[in-house]
């Protein structure tokens, strides 16, 4: 899940409920901003929910400026969950480079999923994945948002 926007207390409560249903939760925190009224709001953030019956191991996490990446090993597959805010494609690509180097990704089979806030045909993030052997899975032909026209979560 991308853009969970949860406080630490909300994450703990969510994890308790998920645990009752047999799920283990892993989170990567986003950042906190203050709106015009001075109210602090949680932004970004990631979550993985994995059923306890599935063998898995938390791999790596990188938060870089306003971007987050969270990795999980699942039966020999390295899953990469990412969130990059709008207009942060270059910073996201930089974070991916840091993650790739730290996790030695060129040696592993991987699957990336997330919210790039960019359309794949015009995306530095999609270019990064393609340059590292990735292929965008076709088939998503509806917009990401209810009234939108763009596909930015892939």
In the beta sheet, which residues pair with residue 114?
Answer: 82
Q: Give residue for tokens 């994995």.
A: 50
Give the SS3 label for residue 135.
coil
Beta bridge partners of 54: none
| Mean pLDDT score of the chain | 89
Residue 112 has pLDDT above 70, yes or no: yes
Instruction: Please compute the mean of the pLDDT values over residues 129-137 and round it to a whole number.
Output: 89
| 70-85 tens-digit pLDDT | 999 998 999 999 999 9
Q: Taking residues 89-113, report their average pLDDT.
A: 94
Residue 149 has pLDDT above 80, yes or no: no
**The tokens of 66 are what?**
């306003």
- Model pLDDT for residues 39-49, shown as the tens digit of each residue: 999 999 999 99
Q: Tell me the HSE value of 61 on the side-chain side, using a 13 A CA sphere.
A: 12
């Amino acid at each position: 899940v991308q853009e969970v926007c949860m406080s630490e207390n909300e994450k703990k409560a969510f994890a308790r409920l998920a645990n009752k249903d047999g799920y283990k939760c892993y989170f990567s925190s986003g950042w906190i901003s203050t709106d015009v009224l001075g109210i602090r709001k949680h932004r970004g953030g990631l979550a993985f929910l994995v059923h306890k019956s599935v063998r898995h191991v938390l791999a790596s996490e990188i938060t870089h400026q306003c971007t987050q990446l969270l990795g999980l090993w699942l039966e020999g597959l390295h899953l990469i969950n990412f969130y990059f805010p709008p207009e942060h494609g270059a910073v996201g690509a930089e974070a991916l480079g840091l993650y790739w180097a730290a996790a030695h990704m060129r040696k592993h089979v991987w699957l990336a999923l997330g919210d790039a806030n960019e359309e794949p045909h015009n995306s530095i993030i999609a270019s990064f994945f393609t340059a590292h052997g990735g292929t965008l899975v076709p088939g998503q032909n509806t917009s990401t948002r209810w009234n939108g026209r763009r596909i930015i979560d892939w």
